[in-house]
Structure 1
Amino acid sequence: MLRLSILGGTGPEGRGIAMRLAMAGHAVCIGSRDEAKALDIAIDLSNSIGVHIIGLDNANAAKEGEVIFVTVPYDAQCAVLQSVEEDLAGKIIVNVVAPMKFTKEVGAAAIDVEIGSAAQESQSLCSDSYVVSALQNVSAENLEDPDKILDEDVIVCSDHKDSKEIVMDLIRNIDTLRPIDGGALSNSKYVEQLTPLLVNINRIYKMHSGIKITGIEN
């Protein structure tokens, strides 16, 4: 069992990841700028799944966790990580951020990140941490439904082999999700940019679809 913290854990993606990992037997902490909000959400989630989840502010959540999931909006990523950088040193950061915007013309669209990707940006901000990119393409709505079977793949990218393996094992703990080794952290750019495409596809078909990589045996 690992101690896992979710920065930005009161949003849909953070709540879903917190629920699924707590159901898998890990000690989970939800972090937020507003500790009272984090506590309220943690109580609600704990009651809904019958597993204890705690709520703290982001600073204390960063101290508490051994592995830190970042699920904040992209425009908040820099400020949040800079505020807790010292507490993240030596830890694994799982970056779940997918930079995107919404327009009337096309719906969801990717935001260009100067350094390449949100995951690479987080590694540059937290140089003493081990950043792994994962879970951007999994629907928050599906994660938040404890009865939903998650029969899809999760592409995992990192420049740190051991940290990548730990995160892939965590993903295997979540229902029937299958981790796929996506290579270097620089490949996270392409994974992140799949998310707005999926959002648009899901809007057309009124579904919460994910991705599946064919031809790879379990």
Structure 2
Amino acid sequence: MRIDIITVVPDILKSPFEASILKRAIEKELVEVHIHNLRDFSLGNYNQVDDYQFGGGAGMVLMIEPIDKCIQKLRLEREYDEIIYLSPDGKTLNQKMANSLSLLKNIILLCGHYKGVDQRVRDTLITREISIGDYVLSGGELGAAVLCDAIIRLLPGVLNDETSALTDTFQDNLLAPPVYTRPREYKGLAVPEVLLGGNFKAIEDWREEQAFTRTQKLRPDLLE
């Protein structure tokens, strides 16, 4: 898989891909992540990528021309399955969406900034808009990092135990069951006996019951 990220502040995106699972995935060549500075496609001598909005109002708007130039350059090099705009009014990211995106080959992520992007970008260049929640950030970079993490960890070979992702919260519209590790008892708090007996059928039944009970209590909307 290849992910191209277009941004006006590339430094924000460096650290997530220089540590932990994402770094290992890149080093193992399971994914390519390329960060493109929109200012490399800017206008004039001042590296302009934004301007005042027509009709007045507070906040600058990212211009269509630099974005179009960047996307067209990338398109000349390969075909893209999706061109995604990270936006607070996009469809909210969920596990089902992450599963679907992880099956794609090439995607572009466009990070909004300031007041957003010229609407013509969204009308003519973007194939999907995604939000990571009902709140506003100063730019789409953190949202892009979250989306990349959600996708990349699902790629075969990224996790040491590939079955781990299949039992994550939300995979079956259920929250994950409780998990425990050593010590068996701490300050009078004991690990449930069923997890210690070696009866794997009983353990799986317990986990399924716990997952349903936790979902019913904490996120009943997932069961609707």
TM-score (norm 2): 0.31
Q: Which has the larger radius of gyration?
A: 2
TM-score (norm 1): 0.32
